[in-house]
C-alpha cells in the first residue's frame, strides 16, 4: 500500500490518499476544507479515485467531500449511523462556526465487518463509536486509519452531540487495542503512532 498523507484546513485534519503498489486506482480517507492539494496529487499521479471514505461525519472531515466527488466521480462511503451528519449542520458541527455544510448522500453505507477491496488493496471496517455514533476505523495490511477515535497519547473528544466517553473507551479497548502491537495507526489529527505505544503511553485509556 502506498500512502500519501495530507494535512488540510484550519483544524489540521489528516486525509490519506492510498493505492496498491501496482495500481493507479485509489481511495481517499476523509476530505477536509479545501482539498485542492489532494486534487492536484490525483491529477499529477494520473490516479482514478474510486472511493472516498469518511471515518465520521464531523465537518472538518467531510467539508471537502463535494469538491472531491465532483472532481473525480468517486463513490462516497461511510457508516450508516453517521449518514445523517452529511445533511445536518448541527450534527456535523458546521453550524457552530457559522456555516451550513452539507454533502451528497453516501453511495454505500458501511457496517462492522464490511470489506472494501480495490486491486489487491483491502480495508476492513471496524465500528468504533464514541466520538460519533457511526465512527469507523479502516484496517489494512499493517496499518489502520483510526480517524478521531485515538491520537498519539490522546483520544477523540466526547463533548459533542451523539458522543459517548464510555463508548469511546470501549472502542479503544475492544477494537483498537486488539489489533497487532506493531500496527501503525494513522489518526485524523496529529502524528501517527502504534498500538503498542498507545497501550503503554496513552494516559486516557489504559490497556
Task: Let me know if residue 78 belongs to a domain.
Answer: yes
pTM of the model: 0.95
Of all residues in the chain, the percent with pLDDT exceeding 70 is: 100
- pLDDT tens-digit profile of 134-143? 999 999 999 9
Q: Where does the pLDDT of residue 95 fall: very low under 50, low under 70, confident under 90, or very high at 90 and above?
A: confident
Residue 150 predicted with pLDDT over 90: yes
Q: Check which CATH number belongs to the domain holding 129 and give it.
A: 3.60.15.10
Residue 76 predicted with pLDDT over 80: yes
Other Cβ atoms within 10 Å of 162 Cβ, number: 21
Compute the mean pLDDT over every residue in the chain, rounded to the nearest whole number: 95
- pLDDT tens-digit profile of 193-205? 999 999 999 999 9
Task: Let me know if residue 207 belongs to a domain.
Answer: no
Q: Which residues are bridge partners to 154 per DSSP?
A: 151
Q: How many domains are there within the chain?
A: 1
> Residue 139 belongs to what H/E stretch?
strand 136-139
- Distance, in Å, from the CA atom of 103 to the CA atom of 165, rounded to the nearest integer, reads 27
Domain housing 176: 2-201
**DSSP strand pairing (13-19 vs 2-8):** antiparallel
Q: What is the mean pLDDT of residues 55-64?
A: 94
Q: Where does the pLDDT of residue 98 fall: very low under 50, low under 70, confident under 90, or very high at 90 and above?
A: low
Predicted confidence at residue 193, as pLDDT, reads: 98
Task: Let me know if residue 206 belongs to a domain.
Answer: no
- pLDDT tens-digit profile of 151-168? 999 999 999 989 999 999
Q: Where does the pLDDT of residue 37 fall: very low under 50, low under 70, confident under 90, or very high at 90 and above?
A: very high
Amino acid at each position: 500500500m502506498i500512502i500519501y498523507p495530507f494535512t488540510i484546513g484550519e483544524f489540521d485534519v489528516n486525509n490519506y490518499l492510498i493505492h496498491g503498489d501496482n495500481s493507479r486506482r485509489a481511495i481517499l480517507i476523509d476530505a477536509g476544507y479545501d482539498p485542492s492539494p489532494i486534487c492536484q496529487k490525483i491529477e499529477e499521479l494520473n490516479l482514478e479515485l474510486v472511493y472516498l471514505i469518511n471515518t465520521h461525519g464531523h465537518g472538518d472531515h467531510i467539508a471537502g467531500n463535494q469538491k472531491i466527488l465532483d472532481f473525480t466521480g468517486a463513490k462516497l462511503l461511510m457508516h450508516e449511523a453517521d449518514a445523517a451528519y452529511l445533511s445536518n449542520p448541527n450534527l456535523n458541527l458546521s453550524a457552530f462556526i457559522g456555516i451550513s455544510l452539507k454533502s451528497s448522500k453516501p453511495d454505500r453505507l458501511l457496517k462492522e465487518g464490511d470489506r472494501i477491496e480495490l486491486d489487491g488493496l483491502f480495508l476492513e471496517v471496524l465500528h468504533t463509536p464514541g466520538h460519533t455514533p457511526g465512527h469507523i476505523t479502516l484496517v489494512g495490511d499493517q496499518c489502520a486509519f483510526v480517524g478521531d477515535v485515538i491520537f498519539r497519547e490522546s483520544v477523540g473528544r466526547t463533548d459533542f452531540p451523539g458522543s459517548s466517553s464510555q463508548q469511546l473507551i470501549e472502542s479503544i479497548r475492544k477494537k483498537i487495542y486488539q489489533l497487532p502491537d506493531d500496527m501503525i495507526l494513522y489518526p485524523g489529527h496529529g502524528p501517527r503512532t502504534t498500538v503498542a505505544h498507545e497501550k503503554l503511553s496513552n494516559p486516557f485509556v489504559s490497556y
